[in-house]
Structure 1
Amino acid sequence: MESKNKLPHPLFYLFPLYVIGLYFFIVGIVNAYVFLAPIAIAALVTMILLPIARKLEIWGVNRLLAAFLSTFLALSMYLAMFVLISLQANNIYENWDTVKGRLHSTIGKIQGSIEGISGVSPDEQLEILNIPPSAVPSDSTKADKEKKRKETASSGEKDNKAEAPEKNKGVKTAIANFFDFVGYSLLTFIYIFFFLFYRRKIRLSIIRFFPKSEGTKTTKILNGSLTIAQQYLIGRLILIFFLWIIYSVGMTITGIDSPILISLIAAVLSMIPYVGTVIGYVIAMMMAVVSGGETGLFIGVSITYGLAQFVESYILEPFVVGDKVDLNPLVTIIVVVLGGLVWGVVGMIISIPFFGMLKIIADQIEVLKPLGYFLGQEDMGSKDDDFLGSLAKKLKGLFK
């Protein structure tokens, strides 16, 4: 009788509430992207700039000027990268006709090879892939377009008047998107300046949320979170720089069009674990197709990526990044996918350091220690891990 009257565990009632709360929390974060994303990015960049601001203050620069100079340095690097990408993109735009011609030629070669192997004609290939023939221009379609253009030349003014509103709408949308981008960027750097300038007040405000008896633990959490974010982010920036150099040299030697831009994109994408490398490789292979599609280009891109990944994994990363963020591979994949679903590319990039800080917090709070254990790499050793770890140590020894 006693067992029948025994009440269920409290978690039985609370679990549905936790699930509902988590759902609305994620929905709220998604809807608040425009507001929260600049703040999150500014917080991470502030952690990178904090050592610079502190060094300036040690040299006798007052906090206001130190915050301004640190923010100006970050803004200058951002503008320099923006100009570099713009120049490379403009180069692609100016040579777009040549790029399209190479792409069409490469597609024709691929279709011809497939026809020679399987006997399926190019038109049948497009039909199998459910691609309309108009999507793959050929000489005949170009001639038809030219003929149609001449036939409709007399009604050109009417067509222009009809298309003018659509063109104006597209231009207005592009201008609006550009100003939104500039506005969000400026807002982010404004946040960075104030975060640097008022960092002491922000720190004390956080400490006051917790009892005075927990002051030591709170300070330990804040210092640990700040340290792990700084080491990870600064290490990643150094890693991106070296990867950019490796990719640029390899892509230039291979003969890929716009090697600097493609290399920069590939290096920045490396901040997204696992997924970023694959995306960068696919983009580079697409540029190899656009650059002519010769077999040597594909081999060159593959060799460049293989060499870069080896250097990154076993030489650069152990030195400049190491195990700064103590997240296990399973959690890393989960948080990257979750970050992508919530905030896109921005979410994928910032998810790792934020969850690394969450682990620091969980390890210091008794009730959250199981979560910290799940996020971390404790008790995950295996023979494969031992082999890779010993290989990395041997490679380290070679470069000392």
Structure 2
Amino acid sequence: MASGKKILFNGTVAIVGIYFFCLCIIESKPFLAPFLTAIVLSLLMLPVSNKLEKWGVGRVYASLINTILLFLLSLGFAALISLQLTEFIGDWHKAKQQIMPKIEQVEEMLYTTTPIEKEDVKLKDSMSSSKMGQAALSFVNSFYSFAGDYLLTFIYIFFLLNYRRKFRRFFIKLFPDDSKEEVSKVLSETANITQGYLFGKFLLMLFLAIIYAIGMGVSGVENFIVISVIAALLTIIPYIGNIIGFIIAIGLGYITTGDTTALIGIVATFTVGQFVESYILEPYVVGDKVNLDPLITILVVVIGSIMWGVMGMILSVPLLGIANAIFSHVKPLKPFNYLLSKDE
């Protein structure tokens, strides 16, 4: 009985602790999301900053150059997608003529095969239209919040790069002298894991964007550039991103035009792209940089989506890779390293 009560007590404490920990993580998103993003991107740019400093550039200027470079790169991606979306919106009236008959067919099928009534849909539409003002206000607030977090991320990146050696010494000083070498090794390993994974993913997305653009462009898919870029960017979300990218390509490339040739081209392009990614690019470009079990990876991505949305899905894998590297060097946590790793 005493042993059973102890197990029950420890289990209850663990569940309650995990619940409040997750609650704190969710509530801390406005602070943690831009800060963790800045940490990951700083680790990505660390080799560039070190190279500039070896060439005689001061640390402040090297950090500033890297920050501006990342900022301009992100603006370039945003400008490319914005231009393509503007072109797509300009052609929306033509696409609407193609897509509306298909939507009406789906609606009629739902009305005849499910308990849904037309009156229910109309009532929901009228209720949603009455809240358009609130939705517009919410969009404006979300935009200003995103803009603030976006700029704050690059401010964090500059200071993290500029004071990186101070932060490194701080973490090493937290541990006794006989552990300092091991701590230094862990810090270097986590940085290498993040750099290798993100740089490999960047090259992978670049190759996939080119493959998708060529395939869908030859197939006559309209707005193939924006579809290719979005689908390639989504591959940063393991496993799930490829599915979302394919669905978006079908929605923007086929449903809006109704061209069967475009559908065949999209399916063929993504089939070739996934083959090249899985068997050629992924093993040699990304490799086993994070060495994570596929099931654990999917679970963590889903949990990240629930807690932080798209940002949680993107950050989950590199952060889990960093945690797994730490687990491999801490003896009490090595069972977690065994659970998270691919290797037996």
Residue 297 of structure 2: which of 332, 336, 356 is its match?
332
What residue is the counterpart of 2:34 in the other structure?
A: 38
Moved more, 87-96 or 267-276: 87-96
Structure 2 partner of 1:104: 100
Q: 1:189 aligns with which of 143, 154, 157?
A: 154
Q: Which runs of 5+ in 1 are unaligned?
A: 115-121, 137-162, 380-400
CA RMSD of aligned residues (A): 2.5
Q: Does the residue aligned with 2:174 lie in a helix, a strand or coil?
A: coil
Provide closer, same or farther for how the CA distance between residues 351 and 168 of structure 1 changes in structure 2, counting only shifts above 3 A: closer
Q: What residue is the counterpart of 1:55 in the other structure?
A: 51
1:235-288 superposed Cα distances (whole Å, 9 cap, x missing partner): 001101111111111121122221111111111111111111111111111123
Aligned AA (2:287): G
Which residue of 1 is the match for residue 184 of structure 2?
219
Counterpart for residue 111 of structure 2: 126
Distance in 2 of aligned mates of 1:279 and 1:124? 25
Residue ranges of structure 2 left out of the alignment (5+ in a row): 123-128
1:76 paired residue number: 72
Equivalent position amino acid for 1:27 in 2: L
Aligned to 1:156: none
Indicate yes or no: 2:10 matched with 1:25.
no
Contact persistence 1:123–1:133 (CA under 8 A): no
| 1:222 Cα deviation from its structure 2 partner | 0.8
- Report how far residue 22 of structure 1 moved: 1.2
Please say if 1:313 is aligned against 2:264.
no
Q: Is the 8 A contact 1:256 1:291 kept in 2?
A: no
Q: Equivalent pairs: percent with the same residue? A: 38
Q: Residue in 1 aligned with 2:63?
A: 67
Equivalent residue, structure 1, for 2:313: 348
Q: TM-score, normalised by structure 1?
A: 0.78
Distance 1:316 1:213 in 2: 41
3-state SS of the aligned residue for 2:328?
Answer: helix
The structure 2 residue matched to 1:233, chosen from 194, 198, 202, is 198
Deviation, structure 1 residue 14:
3.0
Summarize deviations over 1:166-207 as a string: whole Å, max 9, x none.
776655444333222211110000000000001011111111
| TM-aligned CA distance change 1:124 to 1:323, over 3 Å | closer
TM-score, normalised with respect to structure 2: 0.91
Helix, strand or coil at the partner of 2:97: helix
Shift of the 169–315 alpha-carbon distance from structure 1 to 2, 3 Å rule, reads: same
Match of 2:126 in 1: none
Deviation at 1:361, TM superposition (A): 0.9
- Counterpart of 1:279 (choices 244, 247, 253) is 244
What residue is the counterpart of 1:198 in the other structure? Answer: 163
Alignment size in residue pairs = 337
Choose 1 or 2 for highest CA Rg. Answer: 1
Give the equivalent residue in structure 2 for 1:382. none
